[in-house]
Structure 1
Amino acid sequence: MFEQSKKYFSYILNPMELLRTKKVLQVNPTVASPRAEPEEIKIFVFDYNAAQADVRELKTVPECFAFLDSPKTTWLNVDGLRKVDVEKICAHYGIHYLITEDILSIGQRPKMDEIDGLVFCLLNMMYFNEKDSAVEIEQISIVLGKNFVISFQEDAAKDVFNPLRDRLKISGSKVRQNGADYLFYSLIDMIVDNYFVVMEKLGEKIEGLEEDIVRNANTRTLAKINMLRKEMIVLKRSIAPVRELVNGILRSDSDLIEERTEKYFKDVYDHILQANELAENYRDMMMNLNDLYLSNVNLKMNEVMKVMAVVTCLLAPATVIGGIFGMNFENMKWLHTNTTFIIAAFAMIGIPLIMIRIFRKRGWF
């Protein structure tokens, strides 16, 4: 009863903790989650080949329609998911309405689909919020078609594709020498590589928390353990399905993915295996930290109980002697002599000293 009251009291002091719990554990793909539509969307186009690259920001959605028939490789990066605009883009590029629904949905499990000759991937980009010590995720959808790649994301500020954009501006870069399937690989590879950046920061938090537990384990430390455990749930839920996603691409017979590009996806597959194993290791570390916390708390409790037991034992002789000579019997021998008090006082002091010597000799403290 006390623990339950303590939990609810912590939610009163920090209501965001309860919201975070619901956000982490909420999974219901059958119910469409509400999405706040942005006031405007931004569309960036990279239309390139080995010789030249055209980089521009489009003002309206219809401007991107002309790139469907471009002989070059085109990357459309859509920042902001407004339902009307996303449906227009998907309809013009022949993207199936089931994929459109997945793009506009919230909280989808990372997955890969191949519909109507297009390859579709949905996965999460992750970031570590240093201020809140929380893992933040953003759903991104990537569609691979003939000579084009379209990426849909919510917030351009949390993008991990800037190194790719820089490489696209360099004429001799590898991405400029290859087609849309290599661009498709590069986007997924950057998302997966960023997982290690997030996990590295989580690892630093775990190491710092371990030091705090060893030095001074308290209720605040337990709150940090629970918080990091929730972040590990977010991490594991985002990383684990990506393994199936990349494996699906490797097994795909799509003509859009050339045989020479498969070795790059195998490399991504190896990376996601490592990330998954590292996430499992962090999960085990969190369990060990919880056990370490409980061990330290029990150790402190044992130390307190040992001190109290020793003090009780040392005071027991004085209590017994004082109790005997404090009884109200008239015919007690030596009760009224001059040496009785001195003998009793020496006994009260001497016996505990002898007990201390015996306790130390036996290594009890």
Structure 2
Amino acid sequence: MVKPRILQQNKISTKVGQKPGFLFRPENAFDTRLFLISFDEFELVEKEYESYDELFAYMQQRPHQRHWLDVRGYGNLEILENIARDFNIHPLQLEDVISDYQRPKVEEESGSLFMISRMVTFTPKKLIDDDQLSIFTGPNYVLTFQSDYEDCLNPLRLRIRGGKGIIRKRPVVYMAYAIMDVVLDHYFPVLAEMSDYLDELEDCLFKQPKKEILSRILSVKREIVKLRRIIWPERDKISELLRSSPEVIPDDLKIYFRDTYDHSVQIIDLVENYKEMSGSLVELYLSNINNRMNEIMKVLTIISSIFIPLSFIVGIYGMNFSRENPDGSINYLNMPELYQPYGYITLLFLMGALILGQIYFFYRKGWFK
């Protein structure tokens, strides 16, 4: 679901002047749904719970398993507050979760991590829609919070269900890495769609540059700048994770985070390239418009150059000086050609020859190419 950007402004204005840790129900918030995946190397249980108390009791009864509690929708503040109480989430952290517009970051406390990532999609309206994903780690659990029901984490869920890879054998911090890695990998198809769209705009510019094309270019340029603002703190977040102590992230797992860091650098490179490409498209549009204007001016110049001498000639012959003087004598200096029997035809041939001569001259100069 694409959220209008005005909603983000409303969320910010709602918090102005409130005390730290103030919780509010976001406008148009979805009802809170609870999804739990509990697993170890040999067993997997996946279920959506209607009752939070039942879910928490199940997790307490199975401390030997690893649990992924996925909370979707912020419509029920009571459930969110209960989760914060039972999992020792600070009110300020829960406020960051619900506010849903935080930049990517990581906080470490007592061996646990609180991370924020942003999931992005390229909408049919050619806009970047980004949703916040908040991640908490604990001794045997990972909590994720998101405001929407849809996300990009289904490939990870399929890997857990199928027992593929090492995710069901590793500690929970590896699952936190896997979640973050899937979110980051989803940037690549978004960038591929954006690249195709930029190519489409470039083709349109070569065919026929219009103001509508310029508007679309400036719009996608704004989206690229937005994506750039998202991915840079994402890289900084992963860099900070790599500097964490071995108690938080074991040394044998840091190689996976380094791989994710490499992905973030690749994404930044692509975003920077697309930013330059969008700027080049604006310059190409302006260049095409200037070339088109130059072509128009060239045509008008040719037409003017042809008709200015003709206008000069007909202007001279349009002067009404009398051939006869008042006393009846002839003034031979006033338009003697007016009484020539073939004067009119001769003048037309002269003007035609002048036109052909000018056209030949312009052709030799390459004005018609």
Q: TM-score, with normalisation over the residues of structure 2? A: 0.88
Residue 145 (structure 2) aligns with: 152
Report the aligned-residue RMSD: 2.2
Report whether the alignment pairs 1:49 with 2:43.
Answer: no
2 CA distance for matches of 1:119 and 1:161? Answer: 19
Question: How far is 1:38 from its partner?
Answer: 3.7
Higher fraction of helix: 1
Residue 134 (structure 1) aligns with: 127
**Deviation larger for 66-75 or 351-360:** 66-75
Question: How far is 1:258 from its partner?
Answer: 1.8
2 CA distance for matches of 1:232 and 1:27? Answer: 23
Q: How does 1:254-333 map to 2 (within 5 A)?
A: 255-330=247-322, 331-333=334-336
Tell me: CA distance 1:40–1:363, structure 2 relative to 1, closer, same or farther (3 Å).
same
Tell me: CA distance 1:276–1:148, structure 2 relative to 1, closer, same or farther (3 Å).
same
Q: How does 1:26-45 map to 2 (within 5 A)?
A: 31=16, 35-36=26-27, 38=29, 40-45=31-36
Report whether the alignment pairs 1:346 with 2:346.
Answer: no
2 CA distance for matches of 1:340 and 1:308? Answer: 31
SS of residue matched to 2:162 = coil
Question: How far is 1:254 from its partner?
Answer: 5.9
Identity %: 32
Question: How far is 1:62 from its partner?
Answer: 1.8
Question: How far is 1:135 from its partner?
Answer: 1.4
**Deviation larger for 93-102 or 164-173:** 164-173
Tell me: CA distance 1:21–1:99, structure 2 relative to 1, closer, same or farther (3 Å).
closer
2 CA distance for matches of 1:300 and 1:353? Answer: 26
Deviations 1:160-191 (A, max 9, x none): 11111111112353111212011001000000
CA contact under 8 A between 1:144 and 1:256: conserved in structure 2?
Answer: no
SS of residue matched to 2:88 = coil
* Pick aligned residue for 1:97 from 91, 102, 105: 91
- Opposite residue 52 of structure 1, the aligned amino acid is E
SS of residue matched to 1:141 = strand
Deviations 1:126-171 (A, max 9, x none): 11112x12211111100111111000011122x1111111111123
Q: TM-score, with normalisation over the residues of structure 1? A: 0.89
Rg larger in 1 or in 2? Answer: 2
1 CA distance for matches of 2:147 and 2:5? Answer: 20
Q: How does 1:202-213 map to 2 (within 5 A)?
A: 202-213=194-205
Tell me: CA distance 1:320–1:23, structure 2 relative to 1, closer, same or farther (3 Å).
farther
1 CA distance for matches of 2:196 and 2:138? Answer: 40
Report whether the alignment pairs 1:252 with 2:244.
Answer: yes
- Opposite residue 182 of structure 2, the aligned amino acid is M
Report whether the alignment pairs 1:238 with 2:237.
Answer: no
**Deviation larger for 256-265 or 300-309:** 256-265
Report whether the alignment pairs 1:123 with 2:117.
Answer: yes
1 CA distance for matches of 2:307 and 2:7? Answer: 54
Residue 11 (structure 1) aligns with: none
Tell me: CA distance 1:208–1:358, structure 2 relative to 1, closer, same or farther (3 Å).
same
CA contact under 8 A between 1:50 and 1:177: conserved in structure 2?
Answer: yes
Tell me: CA distance 1:348–1:34, structure 2 relative to 1, closer, same or farther (3 Å).
farther
- Segments of 5+ residues of structure 2 without an aligned counterpart are 19-23, 323-333
1 CA distance for matches of 2:177 and 2:126? Answer: 30
Tell me: CA distance 1:121–1:282, structure 2 relative to 1, closer, same or farther (3 Å).
same
